[in-house]
Amino acid sequence: MRLSLTALCLTSMAAAIPATAAEIDARPPDKLSVSGNVSNFRNSDADGGGGALSYLHYLTPNALVGGGVDHTFVEDTELTYGSLRGAWGRGEPSSRFTFLAEAYYGEGDDVGRKFDYRVGVLGISQALTSKFSVQLETRQFEIDTTDGNLPELGLTYVWTPRFVTNVSYAKSVSGNLGTELTSARADYYGKRVNLLLGGSTGTANPAVLVPLPGVVLPPTHSTQGFVGIGRTFKRGEFQLLGDYLKVSDSEKITVTLTFTAFLGSRGR
């Protein structure tokens, strides 16, 4: 499961504003997440699905490490990959700096034809005020016959402690990614439920948006939208996410259910 710099900043900035000094000093609980998804390609009879398991551990209040494994399939084609990630930050909320690194490595089977799956991520975030931050991220893709680098610039604004928005722009600079995407996302952290809404539009290689084993398409116009709802409890949280992706004449709908358990009593 991807720990994006945008998502990390959205969560940390929204949580930081109302926090007391004692809460900032305490390590948050570790997180163990389990998810499953089902997918349908609307213009064909192909169906797919998958599952993921990930774990995040806070070494200090400012540093975390984690890992996970993902498996996805479409008909008789499948892809399995592992991931390692880490993040480190420092400073007060109004001037906080965060560094993020991720690595994904695995192998797919396209009806007997093996292919590699490798993605590396480096990102930084700098808070300019207690409500506004800038993120810069670069992703190196090596997926089957697709390769290249995709830098992304993002802006995050905390309107209230419960409502956060992000906009970003990404354009590939090497390889055959042929990608140029503009994205937006809004998160609402309610007393009873959490909501998220977002999407992207532009030109993209399908491998940049979501793993599609066995599906090789040239870069073309794409549209993606997603909406999610979650509920947080004392010892964990649930999230239900619906995602719509259209690349050229191909349309894919994915529904994902995730449960995250909070391990330990730190930060409470």
What percent of the chain is predicted at pLDDT more than 90? 62
User: Whole-model pTM?
Assistant: 0.84
Which positions ≥6 away from 158 have C-beta within 8 Å? 13, 14, 17, 130, 131, 132, 164
pLDDT band with cut points at 50, 70 and 90 for residue 216: low
> In this predicted model, what pLDDT tens digit does every residue of 61-78 receive, in sequence order?
899 999 999 999 988 889
The helix/strand/coil state of 219 is coil
Is pLDDT above 50 for 42? Answer: yes
| pLDDT given for residue 74 in this prediction | 85
> In this predicted model, what pLDDT tens digit does every residue of 102-154 receive, in sequence order?
999 999 888 888 989 999 999 999 999 999 999 999 999 998 888 899 999 99
What's the mean pLDDT when you consider all of the chain? 86
> How many Å from the N-terminal Cα to the C-terminal Cα in the chain?
25
Domains of the chain: 5-263 (2.40.160.60)
